[in-house]
A and B are shown apart, each in its own frame.
Chain A
Amino acid sequence: MTPARNSLRQPRLSDATHAMFWGLATASLLILGILTGSRGLRDFDPALVSYAGAAVLSGFGIGYRYAMWLRRPPTRLYWYRGWQIFLAPQKLLSNLAHLARIAWNTIVLQRFIERRSHLRWTAHWFLAWGCILAAAVTFPLSFGWIRFETARTNQEIYRAFMFGIPLGSFHLGTPFAEMTFDILDIAAVMVLIGVFFALWRRGHDHGAWSVQQFSDDMLPLILLFAISTTGLFLTVSTHLMQGIYYGFLSQLHAVTVIFTLLYLPFGKFFHIFQRPAQIGVNFYKQAGASGPQARCHRCGQEFASRMHIDDLKSVQAALGIRYQLSNGLHYQDICAACRRKNLALTQDGLWKSYDNRLRGN
């Protein structure tokens, strides 16, 4: 395996310029996607332009922040190593199978959160999947990628198009039609269930009280609550109240969504984009476990993969952490348990030499 050192070389462009480039690239790609996907804006719904605009701005922010994040030496290392291990030609097939397995467990089912606590899992699974479901419908709609229209011959028949290609038609009143129109309501209810459990946990967990902060921990939940309730109000207004206050409510809803989109790159929601790194680390660990292991210089026990220790040494060098010992050894070759024992022994040694000095020998 080639050393990952090259990937840690000093960047030539300043971090901000580099990140700016990737932010603009992401935003441009989105605009290009909107232009081509909506067939030169022919399928674009002007009523949704503020949503599309906010998504483009958010794309800029996410690209920028992601690129900044990848400037950190340890992040860069895992990024390069993760892809290098994943794309190794002789392993690609088994890697794809492994990817499907971990994606199912960590992203779809989110088993690891369940092991933290059932309450956390319930809150998070509903939050995440409610949002993903809603995003899967609303982004293509506001980008003009999917479009519905009534058939010219029959007002009861709806036709759906994707990128201008007819997907099929369905009769109003059929269960499928109901499902399609209600999908955002279903998503909103899922998110509200998640918000409820998350707030419940935060209200009862004494540990959470001491560390939670309004902007980091409460604001995301408040935003999701606001989007979901204003969205549900729209349905209520249409179906139960003859469209009363619809204009005002739809503007209120738009404001909550746009604010959340613009907040995506900054706060807690950024983990949605960071989180796939967990899969990269999983591959890295698997590759490490199947290769040679590092043994602690003091106790001789294996304590990490050779690759991990070697990579860490280059990350530490890039960060200016100087663990070289004066006798040619490297502190990174000492396992955590021996480091701890060594601290107590060192203190012992200090007292012994102090006592010896006092006794004059």
Chain B
Amino acid sequence: MIRREFFIDYSRCIGCRACVQACAECDTHRGNSMIHLETIERRDTLQTAPQICMHCDDPVCARVCPADAIKKTPDGVVQSSLKPRCIACSNCVVSCPFGVPKYMAEFEQMMKCDMCYDRSSIGKKPMCATVCPSGALTYTTMEEVQRTRPGIPVNSWKFGGEEVTTKVHVMVPRETTRVEIDLIQIQPTPQALPADPYDVALMLEMAQ
């Protein structure tokens, strides 16, 4: 089996929502889409960005889980919560550094992206990467990405003092070795701006 990896490039996302739809067709969570599609700075741009589970090497979600309900397979895929165990406490939902797990109130269970394990475990592409037209979500070989993209893939992160390495890579400019999430972007956004009837991004957000 050719060894393929997952690569995210937020900046390529065109907000078409194909991944959101396709995700719900995955057999391990059929009917429920696990992908997050964010509108970024609604007032200024139409920019959107997808977020899938990054499949951390030492997942924070599993460490804070009181029920020991989150398990990693030997091939490094962090699975959705084990159904008999998860007690729907949302520790993982609010702790994951990437904001990935979803609390499903009606099932009293957390569900998350499992890289379409029914597909990726037998060498097929995850649903989202199959349909993404822009290459924001790509499932391919490391060589292919290095050959064709201007940036380089990185899988090392820092959230304050917490170092995280992930199975999934993000595309960043050359010379970057680690993505540091500290104070740069975390500034309070002005809230309660007056409603703008032509705010397309808001409409998109409302449609979710």
Residues from chain A with Cβ under 8 Å of B174 in the complex: 354
Which residue of A112, A205, A322 contacts B162 across the interface (Cβ within 8 Å)? Answer: A322
Which residue of B83, B94, B98, B179 contacts A347 across the interface (Cβ within 8 Å)? Answer: B179
Q: A219-245: contact bitstring with B at CB < 8 Å (1 yes, 0 no)? A: 000000000000000000000000000
Please tell me if the beta carbons of B160 and A331 are within 8 angstroms of each other in the complex: yes
Shortest Cβ distance from residue B157 to the other chain A in the assembled complex, whole angstroms: 9
With contact pairs A281-B88, A344-B40 given, residues A207 and B191 touching in the complex (Cβ less than 8 Å): no
Binds A, one of B127-135, B139-147, B182-190: B182-190
Residues from chain B with Cβ under 8 Å of A304 in the complex: 90, 94
Q: Which of A200-214 contact B (CB under 8 A)?
A: 205-207, 209-211
**Chain A: which residue is nearest B49 at the CB level?**
A344
Which residue of B26, B38, B63, B87 contacts A341 across the interface (Cβ within 8 Å)? Answer: B38
Shortest Cβ distance from residue B57 to the other chain A in the assembled complex, whole angstroms: 14
**Chain A: which residue is nearest B179 at the CB level?**
A346
A73 vs B72: C-alpha distance when bound (angstroms): 20
Residues from chain B with Cβ under 8 Å of A141 in the complex: none
With contact pairs A112-B108, A277-B87 given, residues A210 and B28 touching in the complex (Cβ less than 8 Å): yes
A305 vs B79: C-alpha distance when bound (angstroms): 27
Kindly name the residue among B88, B90, B95, B122 whose own CB sees the greatest number of chain A CB atoms within 10 A.
Answer: B95
Please tell me if the beta carbons of A343 and B183 are within 8 angstroms of each other in the complex: no
Please tell me if the beta carbons of A329 and B186 are within 8 angstroms of each other in the complex: yes
**Chain B: which residue is nearest A296 at the CB level?**
B188
Which residue of A69, A268, A277, A347 contacts B170 across the interface (Cβ within 8 Å)? Answer: A347
Residues from chain B with Cβ under 8 Å of A137 in the complex: none
Q: B140-176: contact bitstring with A at CB < 8 Å (1 yes, 0 no)? A: 0000000000010000000111100000001111111
With contact pairs A268-B84, A278-B108, A323-B162 given, residues A211 and B28 touching in the complex (Cβ less than 8 Å): yes
Residues from chain B with Cβ under 8 Å of A312 in the complex: 64, 91, 94-95
Is residue A88 within 8 Å, beta carbon to beta carbon, of the partner chain? no
Is residue B200 within 8 Å, beta carbon to beta carbon, of the partner chain? no
Kindly name the residue among B79, B106, B173, B188 whose own CB sees the greatest number of chain A CB atoms within 10 A.
Answer: B173
A-B contact count (CB 8 A): 199
Please tell me if the beta carbons of A350 and B172 are within 8 angstroms of each other in the complex: yes
Is residue A39 within 8 Å, beta carbon to beta carbon, of the partner chain? no
A207 vs B97: C-alpha distance when bound (angstroms): 27
Shortest Cβ distance from residue B5 to the other chain A in the assembled complex, whole angstroms: 18
Please tell me if the beta carbons of B186 and A342 are within 8 angstroms of each other in the complex: yes
**Chain A: which residue is nearest B164 at the CB level?**
A321
Please tell me if the beta carbons of B27 and A206 are within 8 angstroms of each other in the complex: yes
Binds B, one of A47-55, A74-82, A152-160, A180-188: A74-82
With contact pairs A298-B187, A334-B186, A345-B40 given, residues A321 and B63 touching in the complex (Cβ less than 8 Å): yes
Residues from chain A with Cβ under 8 Å of B151 in the complex: 351
A327 vs B161: C-alpha distance when bound (angstroms): 12
A315 vs B175: C-alpha distance when bound (angstroms): 36
A341 vs B42: C-alpha distance when bound (angstroms): 11
Is residue A42 within 8 Å, beta carbon to beta carbon, of the partner chain? no
Is residue A101 within 8 Å, beta carbon to beta carbon, of the partner chain? no
Looking at chain B's contact residues, the main secondary structure is loop
Residues from chain A with Cβ under 8 Å of B99 in the complex: 335-340
A278 vs B107: C-alpha distance when bound (angstroms): 12
A164 vs B84: C-alpha distance when bound (angstroms): 39
With contact pairs A211-B79, A344-B10, A347-B10 given, residues A72 and B162 touching in the complex (Cβ less than 8 Å): no
**Chain A: which residue is nearest B95 at the CB level?**
A312
Is residue B85 within 8 Å, beta carbon to beta carbon, of the partner chain? yes
Please tell me if the beta carbons of B67 and A297 are within 8 angstroms of each other in the complex: no
Is residue B36 within 8 Å, beta carbon to beta carbon, of the partner chain? yes
Please tell me if the beta carbons of A323 and B64 are within 8 angstroms of each other in the complex: no
Please tell me if the beta carbons of A207 and B28 are within 8 angstroms of each other in the complex: yes
Is residue B68 within 8 Å, beta carbon to beta carbon, of the partner chain? yes
Is residue A308 within 8 Å, beta carbon to beta carbon, of the partner chain? yes
Please tell me if the beta carbons of B49 and A341 are within 8 angstroms of each other in the complex: yes
A324 vs B158: C-alpha distance when bound (angstroms): 11
Residues of A within 8 A of B (CB): 69, 72, 74-75, 77-78, 106, 112, 115-116, 205-207, 209-211, 268, 271, 274-275, 277-278, 281, 284-285, 297-301, 303-304, 308-309, 312, 315-316, 319, 321-327, 329-332, 334-351, 354
A-B contact pairs, 27 of them (CB 8 A): A72-B68, A74-B65, A78-B66, A78-B89, A206-B118, A209-B118, A210-B121, A211-B79, A211-B114, A211-B117, A278-B87, A281-B87, A299-B189, A312-B91, A321-B63, A321-B95, A322-B160, A322-B162, A335-B94, A336-B99, A339-B97, A340-B51, A341-B49, A345-B41, A347-B171, A348-B10, A350-B176
Nearest 5 CB-CB pairs, A to B? A322-B161, A336-B99, A354-B173, A344-B49, A207-B28
Q: A115-B106, A211-B118, A324-B161 known; 8 other A-B pairs, CB under 8 Å?
A: A69-B68, A112-B107, A298-B187, A325-B186, A329-B183, A342-B186, A348-B11, A349-B184
